[in-house]
Copies of this chain bind each other. A is one copy, B any other.
């Protein structure tokens, strides 16, 4: 059996759908993840560009929006196991250029900007409570990288019992195989995966 057949045979890959109110989570769209010499990859700049109109759709409907940045303290006091595996992460500090959100997606007042030192946007950040207090039951996830912080954020969104949507052309990675392998896993087990324009149509109907 093919990979797809096995999953279908075992009843995986159903849709969790969209609930009453969507929130947008933009994961790590910072300068350093667009730059291939830092943490970036060839598809991330394209994901940034495609995210612009999606962000506009959330802003025009006044839906909750959260941005994440990876930020470690300058003095090394937050060094953790993630930094042991990927030492260059510790360069992402509060004022470093690599750690600033890309200009085209810059947060506006009232949007939540959260700092994290781990993979998931939900881990030790209070994002879950922030979204819930604002009525969100559906987490729409974009950003980078697909096989890293997106995957970790999507698992956690589902675990916190948000219906979860990954916008497949608004996420990017540093290499193509992990990008595709992780979209497969997330679609089978954790989230609905769809292109931006299909999602915007759903939002407009909703």
CB <8 Å contact, A161 and B81:
yes
Give the interface size class of chain A.
35 or more
Number of copies of chain A assembled together:
4
CB <8 Å contact, A161 and B132:
yes
Please tell me if A103 contacts chain B, counting CB pairs below 8 Å: no
Q: Which of A10-18, A50-58, A196-204 contacts B (4 or more CB under 8 A)?
A: A10-18
A110-B77, A174-B7 known; A137-B132 Cβ under 8 A: yes
Q: Which residue of B lies closest to A20 (CB)?
A: B135
Indicate the member of A14, A16, A159, A175 with the most B CB atoms within 10 Å. A159
CB <8 Å contact, B84 and A163:
yes
Chain A 131-166 per-residue mask, 1 if CB under 8 angstroms from chain B, else 0: 011010100000000011001100110111111100
Residue numbers in B under 8 Å from A147 (CB-CB)? 185
Please tell me if A88 contacts chain B, counting CB pairs below 8 Å: yes
Per the bound structure, the CA–CA distance linking A184 and B17 in Å amounts to 30
13 of the cross-chain contacts (CB-CB < 8 Å) are A6-B174, A7-B174, A15-B84, A80-B129, A81-B161, A82-B158, A85-B189, A118-B126, A123-B159, A124-B124, A129-B159, A151-B155, A181-B185
- Extra A-B contacts (5), CB below 8 Å, given A81-B164, A148-B185: A13-B85, A77-B111, A80-B129, A85-B188, A151-B185
